[in-house]
Amino acid sequence: MSRKANSRTVSTLRNRLQLVSTLTLRDLKVNYDRSVLGFAWTLASPMLQLGVLYVVFHIILKLGGPKYPAYVFIGLLGYGWFQSSAVSSCVAVIRSPELILRPEFPRWVLPIIPVTVGAVQFLLALPLAFLLAFIVGAELHPIMLSLPLIALLQALVMLPIAFVAAALNSHYRDVQQIIQVVTLLFFFLTPIFYSRSDIPADLTWIIAINPMAYIVDAYRAAILGSTLPPVAHLLHALLFVGVGTPLAVWLYSRLSYRFVEDM
Amino acid sequence: MTVLRLSDVGKQLNRPSSDRPRRLRELVSRARVISHGTETFWAVRNISLDVRPGEMLGIIGGNGAGKSTLLRLCGGVLRPTEGVVQRTGRAEAFFDFTAGLQPDLTCQDNVILGLIISGHSVREARSLVQEVLEFAGIWDNRLNPVRVLSTGMKLRLGFAIATQQRPDLLLLDEVVSVGDADFQERSSDRTAAFLRAGTAAVLVSHDMQQVQSLCQRAIWIHHGQSASYGSADVVTKAYIESAYDVDNSNSGTGITGHEPPGMQLATIVNGNPDTATVTSGASIELGFEINVDQALGVFRPAISLLDDNGQLQTYLYYQSTIEHDGGRLSFSVTLDKMGLADGDYQIALYLHSADWSTTLGEFADAASIEIENAPEGAGVLRPQSEWCVPNK
């Protein structure tokens, strides 16, 4: 490849990255459009969530130890990113007819946006999780450094789901209903309120194959200093990414030619 | 060299009636649905065309003929069911009234997003914001969301963004006549400059004059098929003549008239009701007054003049359109220097829809005219003549 073609590839790639960041910003702006607090909601909403958890588990139910609100908060933070991105990826294509109609618009960008929007909200709320962890006595430790890798893993797990949901929902609107139910189901199949040791032995396979179970526990390990889940479960998650991504991209590119017809 | 080439392109779409919510069941039973193939139709078929740099191709045809589908196939936004679409270079399109804008974003953010999609970097896009907004004439609205803009403003903004940078292929759907006279001039100047610099353009239009003046070649789409393809003059004339033919076949011989239900016509010819005797070479003023129950909407009047033998001698139409919201409707046309042979002539009046696809009303015997005192000679045309001869 000539140097000129090389530099064109680089500038195209940079353009696509800027497109992703601009569209991410668009969604964040539009989400909080016409609200008084505006962008501050990205921080205010997890803080309020935390307040609710504290009142419910610490004051009313007196469940778990002093670390329990932090434990649940971190679980909710990770799963919240997953859930909100999965649900909004369903409309990623159908709410942007203006973009689909532009000849030069790269359609593969659209399902990435819900994942990056969720990532921004996740990252903004993350300091709160650390603050909470330090209050309940967590200490600095080397596993913390793995946090960016865990977040990256979560993004990689979510992308194939987002691609499939966005593509299928453009043609079959049932998908957004199904996704809502499935994310609710997985909310309970993921150790958010309970710990994986609470699960009956004959059902542990559910946790083993659920990538989000590995991910939320890995966050807890990184932030609270608890032990990392088994490496085998990490391999399951990587297998999901490795098999799911090419399938999802294949399905999306096949169906993307029908987006305009289905509008 | 061509920028755009379509070879035997066809596009099958679902029937609009099947616009019900889609169900997952269809996915499960998809093989069956396809094998039956019941609900699809060919929106366009067997279309071949090419557009060269610096050339504008017009797409004309009635409503629902497949013009917009064809334009979207040209832009690669739709994929053809059969045939091949080849494009080279960067395409920009102005397909519809959303104008590619995000309603909830501010005008300024829309410009930045639009320019990034066109391939600019964020920094370039930021530096061009003012230029684009000023071209669109909405600088004062830069911080307002697009949804509060008027339709005209949106179209101007969409056009300004799509044409900020010269594309290799420009696809326009009925938009060159967007906005006030000032903006029209700026936008057509910009389009013309693009064409001179080598852009290839495709224009969907209902305005035959516009197609004749802007396009070198045109394609007439009728029921999804190419009815005529070639020089813009020839294709637009064929299209207009076909509109006349439809009128004529509707009314049988073209002489026994019937008034459309709910419409009464009164015609004044040179100040007289219905009929008048006119000296050959004088002008004829036809005043029409129509009482009509419902609103006709946007329409285009046309008249024809038939001689004693029922032969068509002229067919003329109003170059623009009239908007009618209901109630009494009157308009007039003056035919200058009617140098015709002696005899009786019949005037018919047609009210076409703006795109010529349907005839809203036709009055085969709108008026009768008797021409007298024509210069002696033969043939229907008898202009006043002046001879210059050598002196003895």
Instruction: Judge: A101–B96 Cβ closer than 8 Å, yes or no.
Output: yes
Q: Considering chain A, what is the average pLDDT of its residues?
A: 89
Say which range, A185-189, B320-324, B343-347, has the weakest mean pLDDT. Answer: B320-324
In DSSP terms, which residues pair with B218 in a beta bridge? Answer: B58, B230
In this model, does residue B59 exceed pLDDT 90? Answer: yes
pLDDT (0 to 100) of residue B303:
92
Of B79, B92, B116, the CB nearest to A19: B116
* Residues of A (158-177) whose Cβ lies below 8 Å from B: 168, 171-175
User: Cα separations (Å) of B16 from B39, B227, B275?
Assistant: 9, 24, 48
Looking at every residue in chain B, the average pLDDT score rounds to: 84
CATH numbers and ranges of domains, chain B: 4-242 (3.40.50.300), 251-372 (2.70.50.60)
Question: Contacts of residue A18 in chain B, CB cutoff 8 Å?
Answer: 116, 121-122
DSSP string of B8-65, one letter each residue:
EEEEEEE-GGG-SPP-HHHHHTHHHHHHH--SEEEEEEEEEEEE-TT-EEEEE--TTS
Residue A101 φ then ψ, to 5°: -85, -5
Q: Of A102-111, B40-49, B248-257, B317-326, where does mean pLDDT reach its minimum?
A: B248-257
| Whole-number percent of chain B with pLDDT over 70 | 87
Q: What is the pLDDT of residues B130-175, one digit of tens each?
A: 999 999 999 999 999 998 988 788 888 988 998 899 999 999 887 6
Nearest-CB residue to A19 (from B95, B105, B117): B117
User: Both tokens of residue B294?
Assistant: 């419902």
Cβ-based contacts of A260 with chain B (< 8 Å): 72, 77-78
To the nearest whole angstrom, how far is the Cα of B157 from the nearest Cα of chain A?
14
Q: Which of A18, A26, A171 sits opposite B22 (nearest CB)?
A: A171
Q: What is the pLDDT of residues A145-204, one digit of tens each?
A: 899 999 999 999 999 999 999 999 988 888 999 999 999 999 999 998 888 888 888 888
Task: Please write down the HEC assignment for all residues of chain A.
Answer: CCHHHHHHHHHHHHHHHHHHHHHHHHHHHHHCCCCCCHHHHHHHHHHHHHHHHHHHHHHHCCCCCCCHHHHHHHHHHHHHHHHHHHHHHCCCCCCCHHHHCCCCCCHHHCCHHHHHHHHHHHHHHHHHHHHHHHHCCCCCCHHHHHHHHHHHHHHHHHHHHHHHHHHHHHHCCHHHHHHHHHHHHHHHCCCCCCCHHHCCHHHHHHHHHCHHHHHHHHHHHHHHCCCCCCHHHHHHHHHHHHHHHHHHHHHHHHHHHHHHHHC
Is 60 exceeded by the pLDDT of residue A226? Answer: yes
Cβ pair B93:A101 closer than 8 A: yes
Extract the tokens encoding A178. 């199904």
